[in-house]
Homo-oligomer: A and B are copies of this chain.
Amino acid sequence: MQRICVDMDEVMADTLAEYLRRYNQAFDEEVTPEDLAGIDLWKTAPVDRQRQLRAFLDAEDFFEVLDVMPGAQQVLQQLSTRFEIYIATQAMVIPNSLGPKYRWLQRHFPFIPPAHYVFCGDKSILRADYLIDDQSRNLVSFEGQGLLYTAPHNLAVTGFLRVNNWEEVAAYFAGIPF
């Protein structure tokens, strides 16, 4: 059985929406995902906001309350009958996220066993046939077939097979023979 690794943030979970919710509330702004085309909010934020931005992510509840990306549950459930599904998430830069991410996966993706969770940093460690990820740097170091999941920050990135939503993920794998 072929194996698919799936990133969490911005692929399974709408991390950006929650981040912007807290950002806009804290700084009384109205930044939208559309405003962030090609932009990494983290890197472009003024220096005096950096500590607060980090505090958003360190908050115990942040990674527990994220919305599920539309279609992710249904498509992954279908794919799990034909492929081994592993979750591969960069959790090590925010160790507070380890527990919340575990609980979020159990709640929203109960059909994926915890033995298939991989909380890591550098994704070159993954042995799998496919990796769906919004970070092109993760796809570069991955040795299988990468699929770049569209997010505002990667809109200008080229050179990768791109999927814009979970419908397109389903369509891509429908074309992969058993």
Residue positions of A touching B, CB distance < 8 A:
3, 5, 86, 88, 91-93, 95-96, 98-99, 102-103, 113-122, 124-128, 143
Contact = CB atoms under 8 A, between A and B. Distances in A.
Nearest to A113: B121
Contacts of A86: 125
A162 to B, nearest CB: 24
Given A95-B114, A98-B102, A127-B127, 18 more contacts: A86-B125, A91-B119, A92-B114, A92-B115, A92-B117, A95-B102, A96-B99, A98-B119, A99-B99, A113-B121, A115-B122, A117-B119, A117-B120, A118-B120, A119-B119, A125-B127, A126-B127, A127-B143
B98 A99 contact: yes
How many of these chains are in the complex? 2
Contact of A117 (B99, B121, B124): B121
A124 to B, nearest CB: 7
Nearest to A142: B127
A133 B5 CA distance: 23
A99 B92 contact: no
Contacts of A128: 125
Contacts of A121: 113-118
Nearest to A93: B114
A46 B116 CA distance: 30
27 contacts: A88-B125, A91-B119, A92-B114, A93-B114, A95-B99, A95-B103, A96-B99, A98-B99, A98-B102, A98-B119, A114-B121, A115-B121, A115-B122, A116-B122, A116-B125, A117-B119, A117-B120, A117-B121, A118-B118, A118-B120, A118-B121, A119-B119, A119-B120, A124-B127, A125-B126, A126-B126, A127-B143
